[in-house]
Structure formats: C-alpha cells, structure tokens
Homo-oligomer: A and B are copies of this chain.
Amino acid sequence: MMSPFFAKLNSAGEMPEDDRALLEALLGDVRSFAPRRDVIREGDRPDHVHLMLEGWSCRYKILNEGTRQITAFLVPGDFCDTHITLFDEMDHSIGTLSDCRIAFIARDKMAEIIERPHIARALWWASLVDEAVLRAWIVNLGRRDAFERIGHLICEMHARLRNVGLAPEGAFELPLTQEELGDALGLTPIHISRMLKRLRDEKLLTFKNQRIVIADVARLRELVGFDPNYLHLKQHKGSAAKAEGEGA
C-alpha cells in the first residue's frame, strides 16, 4: 500500500520519482508520542515542521476559563505546520490523541525541498485543503444542530481517511473519547453521548472500541448534508486517491 503521506501529496497531481526520493529523505527523524502529549504549545517558537505518520493528533486552543476548542484533527499524511516557521510563535497548540509517530523535519531542510516546483505545488495544495476544512468546520459549528454536526464530522474523517487508504468500506478507527469529540464540536460530552445513541438507534452507525462503522455512507451523508467537494479529492491514475465522491 502507498503510504498515507504520498497518497495525500499525490492529490495535487502525480509526483515525479526524484521528488519522491527527496521527500522520503525527510523522514529521517521520526519520534513516537503517547496519547495526550503536547507536540507544540501555544507560544512556542517551533524550529521543526511536523508530519503525521501514524495516529491522531489535534490543533487546539485553551480559553481562559479552561475550556478547550479543537480546531482540527491531524491524521497520517497531514503536515502540522508546513510553514509556521514564518511566525514568531505558535498561536495554538498541537497535542496527540492516540499513540503517534511523527516525523520532525528541520526548518532548513524544509526550505530546501520547497524549491522543487512539484513539491511546492503539493504543499500549497495541502494547505489549501486544510483551509477548506477549516471553513467547513465553521459551517458545521455555525449552522448544524448537534446531531448533524457529529454526523458531518464522521463523514469528513471517513472521507479523509479513505483518501489515504485508512478506511476501507464505511469503517475506520476513531481514537477519541466523547469528551474530545465534544471539544471539537462545541458540545458537552453528555450531549455527544445522547446524539451517538440517536445515531445508533436510527441505524446510521456504531461507535464501539474506538471504531466507527457507518451502516450506509450515502444515507448518512444525505442526512447530515455532507458534500465532499471541499476536500478536493481527485482521482489520479495509479494513486491511492481512488476513494471519492460517492459512498463507500
């Protein structure tokens, strides 16, 4: 299987062989993290770029009253901060959710590699998609009720994981507690629990042992208004990005 890393980068177009070799060379410094560890904290001045290889992490922000809002989930193939090195300091934190393997890429190595047009283009692409995901997240929080909100998030993660080969059929690992889901969706864990029950009762999906199984992807998408267009997943011959628009 193609690694999630390349599967994602290929979304912008197939990568030449020599560029792939260059990218592969970036993966020298790989570190492991236990769940619930911070990779970078708000206020840090990072000198590495981070690339998710295994596991889930998230961007988050803590408000003064101590509540937390997760603003993004990062899964294998996602860069944590492609370019954040431009800024003086992080304006949010990144923390692991499950066991993770994360590549640390030195800032100057990154600067080097970005000279290659195909690679620059792929990184631009990835950053554009990240932005589109943020917008979709805003729409989700602003205009959908709790039930649709959870369903939509699950549809999105399913589509994204499928795109990198980590969600065959309508099933995938979701290593999150209900509290973490709540922090992402702006809901209390209690309400998350009730809505998951409703999703179960309506035979839309199950969530047990950190594993989501969607009964009928098309029906769920329809019900919660999920349209994957914003993920800009395109087919490219020979790439792993065959998972697409229509259901599982």
Contacts and interface: CB of A to CB of B under 8 A. Distances in A.
A89 B184 CA distance: 28
Interface stretch (A165-173, A194-202, A205-213, A224-232): A224-232
Complex A-B, nearest 3 residue pairs according to Cβ-Cβ distance, in ascending order: A142-B186, A141-B141, A134-B134
Interface string A133-153: 011011101111000000000
Interface of A: 12, 59, 61, 63-64, 67-69, 71-72, 83-84, 86-89, 91-92, 121, 124-125, 127-128, 130-132, 134-135, 137-139, 141-144, 184-186, 225, 229-230, 232, 234
A5 to B, nearest CB: 20
A86 B143 contact: no
B138 A232 contact: no
Contacts of A139: 61, 63, 69, 71
A234 B135 CA distance: 26
A79 B125 CA distance: 17
Given A142-B186, A185-B142, A186-B141, A87 B135 contact: no
